[in-house]
Amino acid sequence: MIGIVIVSHSKQLALGVQELAAQMVQGKVPLAIAAGIDDPENPLGTDPMQVYQAIASIFNDDGVLVLMDLGSAVMSAEMALDFLNPQQREKVHLCAAPLVEGAIAAVVAAAAGHNIQQVITEAQSALVAKNTLLGIDSSPASVIPTSHAEFPTKEIHLTVNNRLGLHARPAAQFVTTAAQYQAQIKVRNVTRGTDAVRGDSINQVATLGVRQGHELVITATGIDADAALAALEVLINNNFGEDDSTFAPPVVESTEVSPASAGELSGIPASPGVAIAPVVHYQLPAVTATQYHVEDAEAEWQRLQIAIATAQQQIQTLFSQASLQIGDTEAAIFVAHLLFLEDPVLLEAVRSRIYDHHLNAEAAWQAVVDEVASSYHQLEDAYLQERVEDVVDVGQRVLRLLTGASASALELTEPAILVASDLTPSDTIGLDPSKVLGICTTSGSATSHSAIIARTLGIPAVLGVDPGILYLEDGTIMALDGGSGKAWVEPEADILSILEAKREAWQTAQQEALAKAHQPAITRDGKQVSVFANIGSIADVQVALASGAEGVGLLRTEFLYLGRTSAPTEEEQLAVYQAIAQVLDQQPLIIRTLDVGGDKPLPYIQGVPETNPFLGCRGIRFCLEHPDIFTTQLRAILRASTGHNIKIMLPMIASITEVRAAKEILNEVQRELRQAAIPFDANIQLGIMIEVPAAVAIADQLAAEVDFFSIGTNDLSQYVMAGDRNNPRVANLTDALHPAVLRMIQRTVKVAHDAGIWVGLCGELAAETAATAILLGLGLDELSVNPQAIPILKQAIAQLSISQSQAIAASALQLDSAEQVRQLTA
């Protein structure tokens, strides 16, 4: 019999739901609760171990359904799954149904002998009956078209100039921009003679086949038509924020490694590098939907909506992971995936099949996805044809969720070359370059999103080889050269020698670069610049030192607070800070105090919803509102400072009052530690982040209060330019190389140096070699970047002189735009 687990912040609520549900079925269905925490003063909360124990207590092969209330209950349930073995995990399902109604519907369905998918459907449809009684239409309003007949249609003609046209990322920006307006927007490709399509449909826009030089006609009908067209015109005229000067096609070596030999395979050179390792096959089995008739169309639609919502959460996680691994530009691939799931044309087509033809959700979804994929295949442009991989990737993700098919991650115990028919972007971003030494597939191209990700991760790849590789036994030795597009099965000794020599030469070059990275960064005229690392975990510090970091310029401490049901204790934090400091020895460790709130809420802190969280209670504002959390962190940092070179940095400072309030709390913590005879560094330095214009304006006053400044250009650029860097419509405004932002940096450095304190910069701008000369010319004392960028940054510094850099910076400050600044440094 299927078991039901109820997860709630309130133990009393969970017990009540359990009692009500049990009475409905006379105790026939196994029920367990995981609710509240063992804290008499603050009993509300959830505990992953409780959830695990509840699941284990009623686990059986028929399956377990877990229902949750909001916030940390969901995270606790997800974390509990990690304690289960893979076989158990496949039989445990987290359900987004409303807690009370869902539990009742689920136990009734379970008692009737329904299978787990039927029980989930019943639980998720639990509100339909109540909506019907109240006369509420539960159909999604988002797919009901709005009439704009009373407004005239406006029209503009534009030419697309960016090199690759409307590929996935610019198409995503176009759709995101169009969706911000009430007007109905349509677009057609005049050059190709297409019909007009909806501007809020990612698939219809992408399949227009727009390339460089194509002319578009965009129409808008509605109350804000003029504003919509103006925004789209700016977007297109700015080339969707793409810097084509940095575009470089995959490097293809023209020379053969050797003459053709036994076991040699030819393919497409997609990602350079040499790999020699045993073969491991990897391919998620394609999910195929079984079609059947359904009576309750509403329940099917709701089931699909829940699967889509879950897929969106998964892709958002992938996007965050990709942003850290390969940068925001390439990670934008997954923004297009998110928009696919919001495509109104696609959703309307699926909804029609469910409601009008009474198809089950899986069959309706697959039919429409297949149609979209076919429309990509029919495009004449080969590059745009390849975007079908993204359609299939997203489509299969939703199908797996609907059917309950598992999507187990690749687990390698030893380094290997991955062999597959193809890899999706979702597959590729999850690969570990230390274990996956190479990729060899039977399809794909050098311009596919998977190939782009492989190149960014540094994994050699050869695509489009003979399908015979799919029949190789795991463990067969393979060699591949991603530069020439060649692969060898069980290579002969002479081929192996050539490839090993080539691989060793490449590794030697890398090692030499790393060796130089451990030398000080000194300009040609003798100025030494400190190069530190931005890190966000204990693991990062080892990578940073191996990459040549001379210290840590920014330890983001948020990882200690997120994904938990309560704040980390003083001892937990102390252990982490000490571990990092011990690895660094006497090298500097700048610890930024907690920077959450607003856009990064903590689930265990009751917050007030904010209309604009970037202008809300975040950073130091949050800490001063929660002195208990702030005090605990300061105690841990101070205790870790003994015998180490630790500094404290306060984020989001906008006023003298904030600094003085924080210093008062810091002084009180120091007094308490002295009274308790607990050692700490009495001379610990205190600095602040300069990331809002107000801090620049009063930098002279702030400099009198602290020991150093660190400029955070990510936030500073968006606040200076009044543009949300996560909003595609205005993201191009938030370029930190805009002269307005550079002048802010100039003023900050001058004021700090006049006051006798040093200034660092820890924003992403520091990792751009195009900005290095300008930053040196502006007088920065320290640059802090992600570890992978350190060797390149140090090389760039060594090639410059301060006098040369000052001249470049002076010119940049007089220019009109970020584009002109980039041209200056190109």
CA separation for the pair 21, 619 (Å, rounded):
44
CA separation for the pair 455, 220 (Å, rounded):
40
CA separation for the pair 542, 652 (Å, rounded):
28
CA separation for the pair 738, 14 (Å, rounded):
55
CA separation for the pair 467, 755 (Å, rounded):
68
Burial class (CB in 10 A: 0-12, 13-18, 19+), 220: buried
CA separation for the pair 426, 182 (Å, rounded):
33
CA separation for the pair 376, 366 (Å, rounded):
15
Strands 416-420 and 436-441: parallel
Buried/exposed 533-569: b ≥16 CB within 10 Å, e otherwise: bbbeeeebbebbbebbbbbbbbbbbeebbeebbbbbe
Assess whether 440 carries a catalytic annotation.
no
The catalytic position among 95, 440, 623, 762 is: 762
Element (H, E) at 735: none
CA distances from 244 to 239, 249, 339 (A): 9, 11, 24
**CB-CB contact of 146 with 182 (8 Å):** yes
Q: What is the token pair recorded at 177?
A: 């921009």
Phi, psi dihedrals of residue 380, rounded to the nearest 5°? -75, -30
Strands 215-221 and 528-535: unpaired
Strands 477-481 and 92-95: unpaired
Residues 6+ apart with CB under 8 A from 677: none
Q: What is the token pair recorded at 548?
A: 């040549």
Assess whether 518 carries a catalytic annotation.
no
Torsion over CA of 471, 474, 475 and 478, rounded to 10 degrees? 40
Amino acid letter, 706: V
**811 alpha carbon, distance to own chain's centre:** 36
Burial class (CB in 10 A: 0-12, 13-18, 19+), 592: buried
**CB-CB contact of 445 with 270 (8 Å):** yes
CA separation for the pair 389, 450 (Å, rounded):
9
E strand intervals along 667-744? 685-690, 708-711
The catalytic position among 214, 449, 626, 738 is: 449
**CB-CB contact of 424 with 393 (8 Å):** yes
Measured over the CA atoms of residue 482, residue 486, residue 489 and residue 492, the dihedral's sign is: negative
Residues 6+ apart with CB under 8 A from 259: none
Q: What is the token pair recorded at 48?
A: 């992953």
Q: What is the token pair recorded at 609?
A: 């919803």
List, by residue number, the catalytic residues: 449, 762
